[in-house]
Amino acid sequence: MDIAKNYLDSAVKRFRRHKDLGEKAMAQVSEENIGRSTNEDSNSIATIVKQNRPHLKPPIETFVPDVNQ
């Protein structure tokens, strides 16, 4: 296996693992609390997801079209 393919496979595996962990964490929070932050210096889960979504979607879908499956 060449280095580029190995790197891409590793990156995809890590992305899917982090995606899975994020989804499991969010499933533990009620819809009522998803928009709440713990204090004035922190962001809510909803804000963090909203801010990071545009940064993740385009590059991943470019290399891994079936990433959402």
Domain ranges of the chain: 3-63
Give the integer Cα–Cα distance in Å for 19 and 15. Answer: 6
What's the average model confidence in pLDDT over 46-60?
75
pLDDT score of 48: 87
Give the integer Cα–Cα distance in Å for 2 and 34. Answer: 42
DSSP string, 26-41: HHTS-TTTTT--SSTT
> Do 44 and 35 contact (CB within 8 A), yes or no?
yes
pLDDT tens profile 15-51: 889 889 888 988 999 989 999 999 999 999 889 888 8
Within the chain, residue ranges assigned H as helices are: 3-27, 45-63
